[in-house]
Structure 1
Amino acid sequence: MTSVTGLRRSSALTQFILAPNPGPMSLDGTNSYLLRAPGHSAVVIVDPGPNDEAHLAALAGAGAVELVLVTHRHADHTAGSARLYQLTGAPVRAADSSHCHGGGEPLGNGEVIQAAGLDITVLATPGHTSDSVCFHLPADGPSGSVLTGDTVLGRGTTVLDYPDGTLGDYLASLDRLEALGPAIVLPAHGPVLPSLEAIARDYRSHREERLAQIRAALHRLGRDASVGEVADAVYSNVGPSVRRAAELSVAAQLSYLRGGGIEGQATPAGR
């Protein structure tokens, strides 16, 4: 393999190239991952990122691309998929068939993909979006690793793209990820993190704190308070660039609470 500018080691079996698409929602940019077993020239690419020719050329030049995988439908993960297929001939697979290219089949929950000398297990983790998946590499170091897409980020918290993404689904997905134990977290945005188990618990605690804040706001404002009114009360310190994301999260949480009963504790899914 020739030297590729921007290629960084993220775990024993993975490397990544940071895409040039920083922003309020994408943080430093999209981490496009390359997966391969030692001694293999073939690679699997996860999340090609934006349709940026230089970025895609770097991915295509990092090895013999055997397969391209996508964690979910958002453009900062998928926009470059069709072009990367053109550059490499590698099929693109996603949970949503509209983001598959080159004869790639839709991903199935629990499916074990064998490529680039690796076993890659597909985990359905809806919540951020309905089609979100994670990829588990059980042989990546002593505790394995999980490519979490936007389900778990390297810093901050995940936006629920309501109504496509729902809080009930997201809490169940966190339970599913927590059960994988202290695996390395390989997020699509932000730095690599240790212990998926601990991060998933922290994410759940954050969601429960937000639910408590929204429940209190509804008691003050009335049960029929609008998304904007609740966002003003609970997310008063967020800037304009992330206001829409805050309102999406409020909408998802209001739907969850109103479905489970505001007065009760709205028992999270899977607990």
Structure 2
Amino acid sequence: MADWQQTGPLSRTLRAANPGPMTLDGTNSYVLAAPGSATVVVVDPGPLLEDHLAALAAGPVELILVTHRHADHTEGSARLRELTGAPVRAAHPDFCHGGAPLRDGELIRAAGVEIEVLATPGHTSDSVCFVLKDPSLKHDGGTPQVLTGDTVLGQGSTVLDYPDGRLGDYLDSLGKLHGLGTRALAGATGAHAAAGRPVAVLPGHGPVLPDLAAAAAAYQAHRQERLAQVRAAVEQLGGEPAAAAVAALVYGDVPANLQGAAQLSVQAQLDYLRGATSAR
């Protein structure tokens, strides 16, 4: 029997059985709907696992969305479309099936929910987040929840899939998410905020986080700390050291099965630092 978790008034999640070093306990697939809606929206169908997809298809699915192109989020998309007839929409056209590519700032209305598309490149170039709104709560800005895919995880830090994912883009995206979270806490009104309440994070992996502003700030601090460590390692090694040599110094405590991911992040950081130096 599917192990559903209610993650908010508009959302519930079903974790796929694909645990691993890069997927933590597994990929979180989300089902979105306002109370009383006859249809649902599925976000990130996850891997091609028939039992998992059958559970997601149990209700009338109106729309399927994906946060980014990685297979642990998209592999089951085409099959879920076969099961439900619903179009699949992603920022990258190659991962759309019967639907148009997502646009930054687009407002999608489906299953009684308003879903704003927020481009957040960095983990991958096509990464997006989805800001959830409940049209019945317009008096306070709606229900503050954001589906972050792999841009912000429920635990640990995300990998930059360099060269597709770039650190400069990622830092800009974290700034955008931090601003969204802090405006909500300050009681701002408008499309991105709910008065005086923290924005909950619904991540692609790991548990729900209660405060987007705090999570984004922690990610920003972590990236700056890592950048300082990479700068120090480059100075220690001299010249233009290989990413593997820098990773050995900066990420020496990372398990062997994650060293490849660590080297991708180092490459992204070295590229960022080279760009910052040439811009002076």
The TM-score with structure 1 as length reference comes to 0.93
1:168 counterpart letter in structure 2 = G
Unaligned runs of 5+ in 1: 267-271
Contact 2:119–2:127 under 8 Å retained in 1:
yes
Q: Where do residues 223-262 of structure 1 align in structure 2 (5 Å cutoff)?
A: 223-261=239-277
Contact 2:113–2:133 under 8 Å retained in 1:
no
Q: Which residue, out of 131, 137, 152, partners 1:136? A: 131
Is it true that 1:46 corresponds to 2:56 in the alignment?
no
In 1, Cα distance between equivalents of 2:238 and 2:262: 20
In 1, Cα distance between equivalents of 2:62 and 2:9: 19
The number of aligned residues is 259
Aligned to 1:10: 7
| 1:143 Cα deviation after fit | 5.5
1:91 counterpart letter in structure 2 = P
In 2, Cα distance between equivalents of 1:223 and 1:190: 39
In 2, Cα distance between equivalents of 1:53 and 1:216: 48
In 2, Cα distance between equivalents of 1:183 and 1:138: 11
Moved over 3 A (4+): 138-143
Aligned to 1:57: 54
Q: Where do residues 1-271 of structure 1 align in structure 2 (5 Å cutoff)?
A: 5-61=2-58, 63-101=59-97, 103-139=98-134, 144-181=144-181, 182-261=198-277
Q: Assess, with a 3 A threshold, how the Cα gap between structure 1 residues 143 and 64 changes in structure 2: closer, same or farther.
A: closer
In 2, Cα distance between equivalents of 1:168 and 1:9: 35
Contact 1:32–1:45 under 8 Å retained in 2:
yes
| 1:261 Cα deviation after fit | 1.7
In 2, Cα distance between equivalents of 1:244 and 1:68: 31
Deviations 1:117-158 (A, max 9, x none): 011000000000000000001339866000000000000001
Deviations 1:210-259 (A, max 9, x none): 00001011111013111011001101111121111000000000000011
1:40 counterpart letter in structure 2 = S
Contact 2:34–2:134 under 8 Å retained in 1:
no
In 2, Cα distance between equivalents of 1:223 and 1:125: 33
| 1:41 Cα deviation after fit | 2.1
Q: Assess, with a 3 A threshold, how the Cα gap between structure 1 residues 12 and 223 changes in structure 2: closer, same or farther.
A: farther
Contact 1:143–1:184 under 8 Å retained in 2:
no
| 1:24 Cα deviation after fit | 0.2
In 2, Cα distance between equivalents of 1:65 and 1:93: 13
What SS class does the counterpart of residue 67 from structure 1 fall into? strand
In 1, Cα distance between equivalents of 2:225 and 2:2: 42
Contact 1:9–1:15 under 8 Å retained in 2:
yes
Contact 2:133–2:144 under 8 Å retained in 1:
yes
Please report the RMSD computed on the Cα atoms of aligned residues, expressed in angstroms: 1.6
In 1, Cα distance between equivalents of 2:265 and 2:108: 33
What SS class does the counterpart of residue 51 from structure 2 fall into? helix
Single out whichever of 38-47 and 134-143 deviates more from structure 2: 134-143
